[in-house]
Amino acid sequence: MTGAEGVRCALLRGGTSKGAYFLAEDLPTDPAARDDLLLRIMGSPDPRQIDGLGGGHPLTSKVAVVSASADPAADVDYLFLQVAVDRAEVTDRQNCGNILAGVGPFAVERGLVPPGDGETSVRIRMRNTGESAVATFPTPGGRVDHTGRAAISGVPGTAAPVMIEFPAAGRPLLPTGRVRDTIAGTDVTCVDNGMPTVLIPATALKVTGYEDPAELEEDRQLADRLREIRLAAGPLMGLGDVESATVPKLSLLAPPRNGGAVTTRTFIPVRCHTSIGVLGAASVAAGLALPGSVAEGIARPPAEGHRMRIEHPTGLLEVDTDVVPGAGDAPPVARRTAVVRTARKIFDGTVFPRPAGVLPAAPTPAPARTPGGNDGSAPS
């Protein structure tokens, strides 16, 4: 399949990301051919992705591949692919909880799952990790309704709510087996509640944790320290060499300012997120609930209940997580994690990729930053 005749595709905003959604049957089965086609569809490699669907930023250069599941415990399989913007690279080494928000509605509209009358729950197996999720969303009259009154930080307006619930993950909540590690001379907590994440006190890296993302991205000393920590954390967390990977995520922690449990600045891996990923927030919330983590003395978790409000640069994300600390030799476990996201269909039709073998003669220059760092982009 070359895609020269066009490929069936839907573009959806899922949470605070935007991605192209495909049925697996509409893409090549060979991963190399599939990735080549997706690079041409998204317009990579080019900083502006001017000749494709991508928006010139990792948050808007994402792909969901969806198919009926052979697993009796799931309705559909979801493979997340991150398409690099300025490199000819497609990776499946992580999940994306924001793009996950659009998988259920897409599956219903493609006929993979019959809709309920009122609301529909779709059981989703995430092929990147083998973990599962259940997405529940409104389907009045047996049709997906993308409109609604749910609002999430980082997205203008409102849309229909998508409740996403994650059962206990099969992987250890503490990948290193310890609630604290010292990595590259810095005390951290490595946690994985759906997304491998390293929690770092912001002040340990000589920043406050309240800076604008653009300001943090321009701090070369900070970038070098983050890279050092990430590369050392990868093997300790069982991820191997992460030089070319986007995991683990790094989340700087600071005391909350707006009634939440903690303030975060998250790097993926060098761009600073203007909000926070769903699974990244789930891992932060789990880390806050672990006695002895680096969040102690920084975070202010609720005295009662399991709902954590994770502050980020454009608002907050609420995570309902139930963590049972380990007793004796038993490791800690996150029994339940749930979040509310929204998703909205932007278009559904046919996308025409750049012809095979055709690359930009020279990379399109990235826009120069204006004073204050406002170049119109949003971080990953």
Chain segment 326-373, per-residue pLDDT in tens:
777 889 999 889 999 999 999 999 999 999 987 655 555 554 443 333
- Side-chain half-sphere exposure of 111, counting CA atoms within 13 A: 0
pLDDT for the residue numbered 14:
97
- Mind giving me the DSSP string for 124-157? EEETTTTEEEEEEEEEGGGS-----SB--TTSSS
User: Mean pLDDT across the stretch 230-249?
Assistant: 95
pLDDT for the residue numbered 378:
35
CA end-to-end span of the chain, whole Å? 30
pLDDT digits (tens, 9 = 90+) for 88-105: 999 998 899 999 999 999
CB contact burial 251-283 (16+ within 10 A = b; e otherwise):
bbbbbbeeebbbbbbbbbbebbbbbbbbbbbbb
Whether the domain at 7-169+343-351 and the domain at 181-330 fall into the same CATH topology? yes
The ranges assigned to domains in the chain are 7-169+343-351, 181-330
In whole angstroms, give the CA distance from residue 299 to residue 290: 11
User: Mean pLDDT across the stretch 13-28?
Assistant: 97
pTM: 0.78
Q: What is the CATH number of domain 7-169+343-351?
A: 3.10.310.10
The token pair that represents 243 in the structure block: 């030089």
Among 3.40.718.10, 3.10.310.10, 3.10.450.50, 2.60.40.420, what is the CATH number of 181-330? 3.10.310.10
pLDDT for the residue numbered 363:
52
pLDDT for the residue numbered 4:
64
Confidence bin at 167 (pLDDT 50/70/90): confident
Locate tokens 């198919």: which residue? 67
Residue 128: exposed, middle, or buried by beta-carbon count in 10 A (0-12, 13-18, 19+)?
middle
